Amino acid sequence: MSDKFDKYLPYGRQSISEEDINAVVDILRGDWLTMGPTVERFENMFASYIGAAHAVSFSSGTAALHAAMHVAGVSPEDNVILPSFTFAATANSVVYCGGKPIFADMSRDTLCLDPESASVVAQKAGGPVKVIAPVSYAGYPADIGEFKKIAARHGALVVEDASHALGAARGDKKIGVEADMTVFSFHPVKHITTAEGGMVTTNSSDFAKHLKLFRSHGLVRDKKDFVRPYEGAWDNDMIEIGYNYRLNEISCALGESQMKRLPSFVARRRKIASLYREKLSSLSGLSLPPDHPGHSYHIFAIWVANGRRNEAFEFLRQSGIGVQVHYVPVHLHTYYRQKFGCKEGDFPVTENFSAGQLSIPMFPDMTDEHVDFVAGKIKESLS
């Protein structure tokens, strides 16, 4: 290979066009750097792509998760059921609200939260279950209908962490329409980027309004939203504690421009996945990730058998391939062990999968040659 990835091929990377650059430059030449018209335009474009009634932008996926948990009503002593096999932010957002993350095991068939395990831990939670929070891991569309059934038994809501799953779908339903609230991330390795950024989609206008309140200090300006008497056009009232979690105009312009190429990004990711399948499916000592027609392939998560993952990781890194591990199970992080008494052995499927997991390069600007190179090096690493 002879290109900019000669020395190092990352596992994920943004794809930036001249149009993206011009969109950002236009904002810098204009009047609004934050709180201007681009925010709403990006949100409307996003909502209409997903098919949801509302999309509310945030300064990161983590801020979006925090807001969604708050708006779902997670308060001290409330339980939230979620997979341990996720990024720490899913669980952290529950802790920010004072709630208790109750982990459940994953399914090897989907690599997502196992509905059976979620149902069992919800029953044993020993307190109110406020939210079930499945994660569409790697871009595999989690079966939200299943989780809604479990949530209904507890009077809980479903908040989906779809940080990996923009563009994923089950049948004709895009991820982002079924859950009560769905969270996306726009970190540079994700399907589209705004540098940092996130979004919550929902069909509830009450949730959308509350999400906007939370992202901007808990302040209202409209007379009809005041709790105390309104004193005039200059007045504003802080009706609950909020944050500055707003996404700026520069990021929204980049997001808007990136959204135009989202269908081609997803198509290229699917193509790369099918090339990997062609080249790697006959290799022994390796499992390939579950496929689904609506998979949007944020990550291509392989599993290396026979305890050889770390060896493969080192070999591939030395070959200039930026493999990663997604994830160390959240219940095994020191914070969760110390604060919530989690321990090894709690979630055997998760621990076993995590011990062999490897994320290999997957991003739209990768060429077929890069895929060949990665597949060849994986074969070498296991020979």
Ligand X SMILES: Cc1ncc(COP(=O)(O)O)c(C=O)c1O
Q: Which positions touch ligand X (CB under 6 A)? A: 60-62, 65, 86-87, 89-90, 135, 161, 163-164, 185, 187, 198
Q: In the complex with ligand X, which residue's Cβ is closer, 90 or 248?
A: 90
Shortest Cβ distance from residue 12 to ligand X (Å)? Answer: 10
Residue number with the smallest Cβ distance to ligand X: 61
Q: In the complex with ligand X, which residue's Cβ is closer, 102 or 183?
A: 183
How far apart are alpha carbons 259 and 108 in whole angstroms? 32
Tell me which H or E stretch contains 114: none
Shortest Cβ distance from residue 50 to ligand X (Å)? Answer: 17
Shortest Cβ distance from residue 192 to ligand X (Å)? Answer: 12
Shortest Cβ distance from residue 185 to ligand X (Å)? Answer: 3
Shortest Cβ distance from residue 299 to ligand X (Å)? Answer: 9
Residues 6+ apart with CB under 8 A from 283: 378, 379, 382
Q: In the complex with ligand X, which residue's Cβ is closer, 220 or 364?
A: 364
Task: Provide the CB-side half-sphere exposure for 184 (13 A, CA).
Answer: 29
Q: In the complex with ligand X, which residue's Cβ is closer, 220 or 361?
A: 361
Q: In the complex with ligand X, which residue's Cβ is closer, 192 or 382?
A: 192
Candidates 129, 126, 167; CA nearest to 147 is: 129
SS3 of residue 106 by DSSP: strand
Candidates 303, 275, 273; CA nearest to 288 is: 303
Shortest Cβ distance from residue 197 to ligand X (Å)? Answer: 7
Q: In the complex with ligand X, which residue's Cβ is closer, 115 or 198?
A: 198
Query: Letter for the amino acid at 217?
Result: H
Residues 6+ apart with CB under 8 A from 249: 27, 30, 32, 33, 34, 35, 36, 38, 39
